[in-house]
Amino acid sequence: MRPADEALIVIDVQNDFCPSGALAVAGGDQIIPRVNALMGKFSTVVLTQDWHPADHLSFADNHPGAAPFSLTEMPYGPQVLWPRHCVIGSEGAAFHPDLDTDPVQMVIRKGFRPQIDSYSAFFENDRRTATGLDGYLKARGIAAVTLVGLALDYCVAYSALDAAGLGYRVTVLEGAARAIDLNGSLAAAREGMRAAGVALEI
């Protein structure tokens, strides 16, 4: 077992991010056996779940004429317009059926406010609206977090950067994550995480 002050955070292992999903990450389902095995090594395990209303402003089809993966400007800055995915209550928003949810103590749902997207497990994309995860972890005495899941270059990386900024020791296991790699996003994410002191391991 890992020390009691370490937590595992499993990011968005949901049907829509796995093969045949609406926003599939290549090989997204391949990480699940390792993620399940890792859960048994941590006394604190948290899942995050993308959880969008149908009118969410990050969906390209809510912007007439906009193409998926194009950029738009939101009040909080640039925003990728995504294919419709992880709509509240949908099968696509459900955790992948092979993911073992029994060892999990907390599920953080994010992106449920129609006006703000949310990549990070800690803050929505306005960088101010907290999800509550930081308070939960601190109340449990957590000082270090290990992150796995989907997608490495977006929700995992944003979560890792925020965790580092909040003072946690942060490790990302790239072998238990998969990336979208949109226009060089994976290289940029790795560079940013290393600069923030995040440990990248396989």
CA dihedral over 113, 180, 153, 32, signed as positive or negative: positive
Which member of 12, 29, 117, 153 is catalytic? 12
Conformation bin of residue 89: beta by default, left when phi > 0, alpha when psi is -120 to 50:
left
Known active-site residue 110: yes
Give me the pLDDT at residue 179, please.
98
50 is catalytic: no
Residue 48 lies in a domain: yes
Cα–Cα distance list, 10 to 35, 58, 114, 160 (Å): 8, 22, 24, 11
Q: What local confidence, expressed as pLDDT, does residue 147 receive?
A: 99
94 is a domain residue: yes
CATH number of the domain bearing residue 118? 3.40.50.850
Assigned domain for 32 exists = yes
Residue 80 domain flag:
no
Question: Domain tally for the chain?
Answer: 1
User: Within 13 Å and on the Cβ side, how many CA atoms surround 160?
Assistant: 32
Is 68 part of any domain? Answer: no
User: What letter represents residue 54's amino acid?
Assistant: A
Q: Is 138 a catalytic residue?
A: no
Asked if residue 196 is part of any domain, the answer here is yes
pLDDT of residue 5: 98
Mean pLDDT of the chain: 98
- pLDDT at 55 (0 to 100): 98
pLDDT average per 10 residues of sequence, the chain (202 residues) = 98 98 98 98 98 98 97 96 98 98 98 98 97 98 98 98 98 98 96 98 98
Given this model, what pLDDT does residue 117 score?
97
Range of the domain at 163: 6-52+85-201
Of 18, 29, 117, 155, which is the active-site residue? 155
Residues 110, 117, 153, 162: which is the catalytic one? 110
